[in-house]
Amino acid sequence: MLDLSFFGDTVVLCVGDVVLDRFISGEVKRISPESPVPVLLATGETSLPGGASNVGRNIAALGGKCILIGAIGDDSTGRELTQILAAVGGIEADMVTVEGRPTAEKTRFVAHGQHLLRMDREKAQPLSAEAESAVIGKVARHIARCRALVLSDYAKGVLTEKVIAECIALAKSHGAPVVVDPKSPKFSRYDGATVVTPNMSETAAAVGVSPTTDALAEEAGRLALRDADLQAVLITRAENGMTLVSRDHGATHLRASAREVFDVVGAGDTVVATLALALGSRRPLEESARLANVAAGLVVAKRGTATVTRSELLDEIGRLSLIEKGQSETKYSSAPALAERRKQWEADGLIVGFANGCFDILHIGHLHTLEFARAHCDRLIVALNGDESIRRLKGPNRPINSVDDRVRMLSAFTSVDAVVVFHQDTPAEVIDLLQPDLLVKGADYAIENIVGAATVLARGGKVLTCPLLPDRSTTGIIKKTQIA
């Protein structure tokens, strides 16, 4: 499996338009009697870093470190955003406070997973000369510590032509690649950058060609390189994936990997964050673009201003690699390899659950237990008795299904994230190695009799018993078959 541990050694400097993203969620059950509009009964409110600050959040989620520079107002929104950023590990925010300039804020009203309305508060105008100098001074102070620079342009006025030119010059003088998320249709504003990442509409506005096909995307990329001093253009094409056009290596088309698309809010931030981390870690441009494409496929399957963790990225790369090789997707892992993945899950702040059993003939009782377990954790490991282990426990005529078949079947469960096989009579050694946060068994076991319970409880974890479904068991199924 690809090792992304190098992200942890990479510091990325992100400069741009920071925004506070606010989501007000609720239910719509009626239309207003005052006018034909839905009435939202608000039930929750969430505030998250948006714009350039969401790029920083994505860098931190992937295990990197971000120094974030932007402009905020002397207002409650700016103070709220500053407090939120301070609570995110991996981000060092160094903001310029501009008198008379409100902190940019986007409020989205959401019901049943659908956006009803977005309300913006902002003053999108270029920074004053004094504020420009303050931003450039902060970049000059931090650039030597950084391996890559992101310019996150949301057209709010922080990235003036002077700020862009000075930032790129400083990055180049320190050998740091420059990734730009552009909003201007004039790509020459970003002359000297390593790569710009326009979406389809931004590309069409800049070069007059809409990249709706591979051929048109390649043409659009070449026109962009003709008109601006850039090393490459990475065009994000929604469900059609991405097209990378480079001066040195021509065009590469990357197919979209998203299994479901729930929300595209912030997907561009995930792309530039992943791209910058990979380039800053001295990965080749095409490899970096492929990583960014996979990360984009993951983030659009989430709702709201979301991020992707390093472990999610690794897991998805593994899944796509199997598909590319024409192999069935399996979630099997050796115990030592799974222990390393478990460490990464822990680093990402995920709760790791553990269940075990023979799972010889899968039935609704198994599904019930696994869904119960997964509902109480972020990642679920299932430890599977090997064939010889089952023969010792169940007799010479078991298992009915071989361990390879059982691994394949368990891998098909969406509730299962990893499968490991043990050959002892109990999973005690595997539990000691993996140190799960949660242990789940059926309610026919008393907690004091559950193997591994003491280990999990000693580290502050939980042990849960799942209510059993009556008359659902492998032994019962076998007896019915024999009677028939």
- 290-300 confidence digits (pLDDT tens): 999 988 888 87
Least confident stretch, 117-121, 163-167, 258-262: 258-262
Residue in 269, 387, 417, 437 annotated catalytic: 269
Cβ partners under 8 Å of residue 89, min gap 6: 60
Domain spans of the chain, in order of start: 5-324, 335-483
The pLDDT value given to residue 201: 94
Going by C-alpha positions, the residue among 245, 219, 220 that lies closest to residue 232 is 245
Long-range contacts made by residues 3-8, C-beta under 8 angstroms, separation at least 24?
Answer: 4/62, 4/63, 4/310, 4/313, 4/314, 5/63, 6/281, 6/282, 6/283, 7/62, 7/63, 7/64, 7/277, 7/278, 7/281, 7/310, 8/63, 8/64
- pLDDT given at position 355: 95
The percent of the chain in helix, strand and coil, each rounded to the nearest 5, is 40, 25, 35
Q: Domain 5-324 maps to which CATH number in 3.20.20.70, 3.40.1190.20, 3.30.300.180, 3.40.228.10?
A: 3.40.1190.20
Comparing 127-141, 187-201, 224-238, 469-483, which segment has the lowest mean pLDDT?
469-483
Beta pairing class for 65-69 and 91-93? parallel
The domain defined by 335-483 carries CATH number 3.40.50.620: yes
DSSP letters, 419-460, are: EEEE-SSSSHHHHHHH--SEEEEETTS-GGGSTTHHHHHHTT
User: How far is it between the farthest Cα atoms of the chain?
Assistant: 88
The two three-digit tokens of residue 141, written as one number: 């102070």
pLDDT digits (tens, 9 = 90+) for 319-358: 676 566 555 567 888 888 888 889 888 888 889 999 999 9
CB 60 within 8 A of CB 89: yes
Q: How confident is the model at residue 46 (pLDDT cuts 50, 70, 90)?
A: very high
Find where tokens 């970003």 sit: 190
Total-model pTM: 0.74
**Average pLDDT of the residues in 91-98:** 96
Q: What is residue 458's predicted lDDT score, i.e. its pLDDT?
A: 94
**pLDDT tens per residue, range 395-444:** 998 899 998 899 989 988 989 999 999 999 999 999 999 999 999 998 88
- Check if 269 is active-site: yes
Coil, helix or strand at residue 166: helix
